[in-house]
Amino acid sequence: MMSKNLLKIVAMAALGASVASAGFAGSANTVSNARYVPTIWVDPDGCEHWVMDDGAEGYMTPHVTRDGIPVCQRGNTCAVMNSDQLFAVDKWHVSAANRTRLKAFFRDSGASVYLIDGHTDSDASDAYNMRLSKNRAMAIASIAKSAGVKAQARWYGERVPAASNNTRVGKSKNRRVEIQCIR
């Protein structure tokens, strides 16, 4: 015959086991405030990613600022071309001479892809500048493609200035086509 005390101990042990298993099942399915501190992996382009190894699982996501701008240890900009030397005011036609120069640049630079980024100064409206920078970037990208290389056009209008738009010199610096050479 089991003593009262022994019965109590057995009952408690059983309860303990059931609580522990319930607790384990709960923690396996749902975690709250689990500590996940990432480290940084730098991709071959030079930009950072958050990375974590959770035993058998791996996790990774780009490291971007709260504005959505990637954090990169280096850029891939290999040329900044002043728009005044490439285009007439408000136009996106490229002269034959410049076309030849650009083709030579694309043939000789050896990147696997060229990202062509069009920018303007802050004169005229945002919508107008988005359109102008798009047409200019696409004009340069089509020259790159005619030189037999891969290119992707993007446009930012006046939204990503390189200098202040309050001075004449600053505005001139903002009127530009930036080229990223992706290896």
Partner 1 sequence: MTFMKATSVALLAISVAGCDVPKQNKTVDNFIDSKDLSQLKAGIWVDPNGCDHWIIDDGVEGYLSARIDQNGKPVCSGIAEPNTATGAYKSGSPIADVI
- Render the burial of 27-53: b for 16+ CB within 10 Å, e for the rest: eeeeeeeeeeeeeeeeeeeebbbbeee
The single residue among 35, 89, 166, 169 that binds partner 1, judged by CB under 8 A, is 35
44 makes contact with partner 1 (CB under 8 A): yes
Q: Supply φ then ψ for residue 182, to 5 degrees.
A: -95, 125
43 makes contact with partner 1 (CB under 8 A): yes
68 makes contact with partner 1 (CB under 8 A): yes
The H or E element that residue 152 is part of is: strand 151-155
148 makes contact with partner 1 (CB under 8 A): no
Q: Which is nearer to partner 1, 38 or 170 (CB)?
A: 38
Q: Which is nearer to partner 1, 101 or 154 (CB)?
A: 154
The pair of structure tokens assigned to 91 is 């136009």
HEC sequence for 30-46 = CCCCCCCCCEEEECCCC
The Cα angle at residue 117 between residues 149 and 61, in degrees rounded to 5: 90
Q: Which is nearer to partner 1, 8 or 183 (CB)?
A: 183
112 makes contact with partner 1 (CB under 8 A): yes
The single residue among 2, 29, 33, 54 that binds partner 1, judged by CB under 8 A, is 54
58-62 β-sheet, strand order: 39-42, 48-53, 58-62
76 makes contact with partner 1 (CB under 8 A): yes
176-182 β-sheet, strand order: 77-82, 176-182, 113-119, 151-155
Q: Which is nearer to partner 1, 2 or 56 (CB)?
A: 56
Size of residue set near partner 1 by CB under 8 A: 44
**Interacting residues toward partner 1 by CB under 8 A:** 35-45, 47, 49, 51-62, 64, 68-70, 72, 75-77, 112-113, 115, 117, 150, 152, 154, 156, 160, 180, 182
